[in-house]
Structure 1
Amino acid sequence: MQAPKYFLAIIFSIIVFTACKSDDDSPKIKFTAEQLKMVFGDSEKSWRVTAYYANYSHNQLSDFNDCYKDDVYTFKADSEEVEVTLGDLGCYWPEPDEQVATVKYFYDETTGKFILEHGRGETSGNHFASQYYLLELEEMSETRLFFGSGDKGKYSRVIVLELIE
């Protein structure tokens, strides 16, 4: 009757492995408020868009990449606003009558998530086109910001910004 002993050994192993918990069950903070000073400094910092991807994991640039690459985002420390200086190239029409970009950021101190809320629109005559999306800060260095949506390593929409010195 080896089966009952074997069965007990399996049950005991399952109990031991499922009962063992990591000592570090607390949620990880993605970025601290101190780290985020790299984004806006003591007052503000300006960043140029260097790439806008429709699907980063497949290295597919957005159809709007060229019109984004001449934009400058100035992150302000005293508000959650981002001043956007749009370049001359339109996203929807070669020479739009008007271009508008509204960008805000939100920081959740408990999770350390830094979210970029992005809206952009253009008019040409009686026509209007726009897009709206949220991106999360995924990677950050003193000279580069990487905002993306999707799972780590499988990002779809991504905006990459580099510090203007």
Structure 2
Amino acid sequence: MKILKSIFFVSFILLNLFACTTDEEPLFQDKYTAEDLVKLHGGDFKQWELQAFYTNCNQKQLSEKNTCFVDDFFVFQKDSNEINVTSGEGGCDNVAPEDEITTASYEFYEEEGLVFISISKASSVNGVIKNIFFSLQLVELSTNQMIFASGEKGDYRIALVFVTS
């Protein structure tokens, strides 16, 4: 019985740690305003850490690239819409982080109230350039968590879950 309780407790902790949403405050909005974006860039710039990179957020399936993305830090800037990326210790495709270039930016379409992030990670492996590129829509935003994803509300597929303190 103690083992079953321990397994349940650990499962509960892990589920909450890697959840795509929280119960703290409703995050989903159909449209975002310039005032909402202060949560994203902090009025000037704000650092975010990628908590999870899902290929299927609802099924909690982490991407095979999760490890090489989650140790990167992303600084969202207000005026340039650029995101400065500081690579972590792990590179993708068995490449040293210093041999990898990650670029990112976000676009705000004020009239539609939509925000998109675009990320590119490139490296050279045995003389072959490998590039990962994707663009995702902002679907959830609070002061300490945001999610960019593909799919419908409650049915997110590819998703990036960012957190900040």
Task: Verify same fold: TM over 0.5.
Answer: yes
TM (norm. structure 2) is 0.78
**Which residue of structure 2 lines up, in the alignment, with residue 124 of structure 1?**
125
Compare CA radii of gyration and give the structure with the larger one. Answer: 1
Deviation at 1:160, TM superposition (A): 0.5
**Quick check: 1:115 aligned with 2:99?**
no
DSSP 3-state at the match of 2:67 = helix
Question: 2-side partners of 1:78 and 1:110: how far apart?
Answer: 18
Question: 2-side partners of 1:114 and 1:30: how far apart?
Answer: 9
TM (norm. structure 1) is 0.78
Question: 2-side partners of 1:143 and 1:67: how far apart?
Answer: 22
**Which residue of structure 2 lines up, in the alignment, with residue 142 of structure 1?**
143
**Which residue of structure 2 lines up, in the alignment, with residue 46 of structure 1?**
47
**Which residue of structure 2 lines up, in the alignment, with residue 65 of structure 1?**
66
Q: Percent identity?
A: 31
RMSD: 1.6
Q: Deviations over 1:38-86 (max 9, x none)?
A: 1101210000001000111221100011111100000001111000011
Query: How many residues are matched?
Result: 137
The question of whether the paired residues in 2 share the 8 Å contact of 1:108 and 1:114 is answered with yes
Deviation at 1:125, TM superposition (A): 3.4
Superposed structure 1 runs of 4+ greater than 4 Å apart:
none
Unmatched 5+ residue regions in structure 1? 1-27
Matches within 5 A, 1:1-165: 30-95=31-96, 98-163=99-164, 165=165
Question: 1-side partners of 2:55 and 2:43: how far apart?
Answer: 33
Q: 1:63 to 1:29 in 2, by over 3 A?
A: closer
